[in-house]
Chain A
Amino acid sequence: MSLDLLIYAVGAFASLMSVVAVYLALVERDLVKAVIYSAIQSVFYSLLFYLFMSPDIVLVYLPVAGGVLPALLLVLISKTERFERE
């Protein structure tokens, strides 16, 4: 099995797991869990960016969508309401 098949296989696995994470973030009622699922989706997207040979984007994407934005959203949730209604 040559190396570029391995790269594509890891990429396919990461993109399928990101579909799972986006669906779980959509259906969840508890907003703290939805923010955590969105951070998991960002980690899988970073892995996919790395496999497409772009290290600059990985270094932007990991602190921004995996560190700063979930922190800001969690602060907003703690100041307002936590559960989504019907």
Chain B
Amino acid sequence: MKRVVSLAVLVTIVLGMSLLLALSGQSFYPSENLRWLAIVYLNTTYNPYLPDFTVWSPEAVTAIVWDYRGLDTLYETTVFYLAIISGLALGRGVKRLNQKPTDESGLSPIVKTVTKITGPMILAVAASIGLHGHLTPGGGFQGGATAAVVPVVFIVVFSSFYLLWKGVSSQRMLTLRSAGLIGIGLTSIALFLAGLLLGLPSYVFQNIAKAGSPLSMPYDVHGALLSGTLWWFNLFEFLAVSSGFTLAFIILMTPEAEEKW
């Protein structure tokens, strides 16, 4: 009863105070014009009439994240990598059990059958979100986070040792994660190395040909848009994020043997 009274008081305070602000004309209402930088980004994100400035990707947010502001995203990937490494470091030296999951462990057979059907469907949707990131809303991190839901559901429904028994161990997830990070690093300096080898000027993190350097990644494959480095970045980020999350779940959820301190 006390909670209902407090909730009613809180909602009344919010409604009444906003009525006061709106009546006196002091509140904040958005304008109809954008600032100059946003107009520049919206104009040059897919513009065949300006081939020196465009990114060839109709999705403005992914173009900003991986092309106009690519260095920010590179360091954000590094911060996420550090968090997973800290989890590994705090869990080292602990012996973990390894039993075989029996038929009685876990939930009922109805739940197990439904999970076996919907698990690959979730993975397919996550791959579609991740790999179409330069055409529709989505991208590498969104697809990776959606694909990380599948190991949690499998551990809860079957048993804690199901993933280890199927071959998804922490060593393999670490290898996949390292492969994804190496891929991101190589894609970002690919055009720079090509410029060094051919003797032409080029930049680090370069995507399409600019006014100062004539090298460019292929942005078009027989009419289907590929947007240069954006597709490769999305693929490697999808691999890295999904295997990183799976690694964190395996460390946290496997029961440990008894330790004497």
Query: Which stretch in B113-121, B143-151, B230-238 binds the other chain?
Result: B143-151
Whether the pair A68, B252 counts as a contact (CB closer than 8 A) is no
How many A residues have CB within 8 A of the partner chain? Answer: 19
Judged by DSSP, the binding face of B is helix
Give the shortest distance, in Å, between A68 (CB) and chain B (any CB).
6
Judged by DSSP, the binding face of A is helix
B59 nearest in chain A by CB position: A56
Whether the pair B139, A71 counts as a contact (CB closer than 8 A) is no
Partner of A23, one of B7, B148, B152: B7
B117-138 CB contacts (< 8 Å) to partner A: 129, 137-138
Determine the distance from Cα of A20 to Cα of B142 in the docked complex, in whole angstroms.
28
Whether the pair B137, A56 counts as a contact (CB closer than 8 A) is yes
Contact A68/B11 with A23-B6, A59-B129, A59-B137 known, Cβ cut-off 8 Å: no
A79 nearest in chain B by CB position: B252
Q: What B residues does A64 contact at CB under 8 A? A: 145
Contact A60/B145 with A19-B14, A68-B152 known, Cβ cut-off 8 Å: yes
Q: Give 1 or 0 for each of A46-58: 1 = CB within 8 Å of chain B CB.
A: 0000000001101
Q: What A residues does B138 contact at CB under 8 A? A: 56, 59
Q: What B residues does A75 contact at CB under 8 A? A: 252-253
Determine the distance from Cα of A16 to Cα of B11 in the docked complex, in whole angstroms.
7
Q: Could you tell me which A residues sit within 8 Å of B by CB distance?
A: 16, 19-20, 23-24, 27, 55-56, 58-60, 63-64, 67-68, 71-72, 75-76
Q: Could you tell me which B residues sit within 8 Å of A by CB distance?
A: 3, 6-7, 10-11, 14-15, 61-62, 129, 137-139, 141-142, 145-146, 148-149, 152, 245, 248-249, 252-253
Would you give 25 A-B contacts (Cβ < 8 Å), ordered by A?
A: A16-B11, A16-B14, A16-B15, A19-B14, A20-B10, A20-B11, A23-B10, A24-B7, A27-B3, A56-B138, A56-B139, A59-B146, A60-B141, A60-B142, A60-B145, A63-B142, A63-B145, A63-B148, A63-B149, A67-B149, A68-B148, A68-B149, A71-B152, A72-B249, A72-B252
